[in-house]
Amino acid sequence: MSELSFRRSEPRPQPRGGSLVALLLVVVTVLAASRPWWSPSLPDGVLIEISGEVPRPGLVIADAPTVASALAAAGLEPDRLRPLPPDVLAEGDRLEVRGGRVRVLPPSRPLLVALPIDINTAGIEALEAIPGLGASTAAAIVEDREIRGPFPSLDGLVRVRGVGPSTVAKLAPFVEAPQAEPIDLNQAGVEQLQLLPGVGPVIAARIVVDRADRGPFASVEELIRVHGIGEATVERIREQVVVP
């Protein structure tokens, strides 16, 4: 039985700035039967969206429901923009920083995020929803994964350009890297084989054709009989495939 927990923004009685759709943030925690002891430890605070002239625009978690706390979470010293709006912020509110001024705005769009996010399957848009993770880093994670294959653990994220141990520590409450089932070289089709690092549609098709012409592979090393596959590729995918 899965246990679900929800975190949502409360409806505002009189939204500032017109009629906009209230933001709904759903945080789903799944306690797998195989790991009954596990549950994500999500940080306390208020989720705020910040745009404009700040070091870290996007979704941030403010320690307190104040403009100053939200600006600090986005990497900006609040003292630089005083006087600040006195608003008490609600979950999903937006701050816009332009020309040394701060505007407090209501939620702009619906948002649905299931946590923790699988770092090995999430797309750029899902990764961008993680507080503190920008578009460039999200794109770099997806690009690295497509080239080198799945991340064996969260610590494996440090191989991504621009991601260090401190970034991994900040992302840890929001992401996971479950181990993927190895691919059966003698059963997998073209689409599944393309999930392997360094194996595009052409090489994947060659593997399937070779298997049909010459019979099943007796070992992973036999992949070198396929045109376009060398020892380097075999080593890259060795841990992600099986030959029953």
Give the model confidence (pLDDT) of 39-50 as tens digits. 445 556 788 889
Q: Chain-centre distance of CA 93, in angstroms? A: 22
**pLDDT for the residue 163:** 92
List all residues 6 or more positions away from 131 whose beta carbon is below 8 Å from its beta carbon: 47, 58, 59, 60, 61, 174
- Nearest CA-CA partner of 66 in 43, 96, 45: 45
Does the structure show a pLDDT above 50 at 4? Answer: no
- Residue 17 or residue 46, greater confidence: 46
Band (pLDDT 50/70/90 cuts) for residue 114 is low
Residue 212: predicted pLDDT: 95
Average pLDDT, rounded, for the chain: 78
Domains of the chain: 1-115 (no CATH), 118-176 (1.10.150.280), 183-242 (1.10.150.320)
Percent over 70 (pLDDT), the chain: 77
What digits encode the pLDDT tens for the residues 55-112?
A: 998 888 888 989 999 999 999 988 888 788 888 887 778 899 998 889 888 776 544 4
Q: In what order do the strands lie in the sheet with 101-105?
A: 58-62, 46-52, 94-98, 101-105
Radius of gyration, CA atoms only, the chain: 23
Across the range 218-235, mean pLDDT stands at 94
Asked if the model's pLDDT at residue 23 lies above 50, the reply is no
C-alpha 115/C-alpha 138 separation (Å) is 16
pTM of the predicted model over 0.75:
no
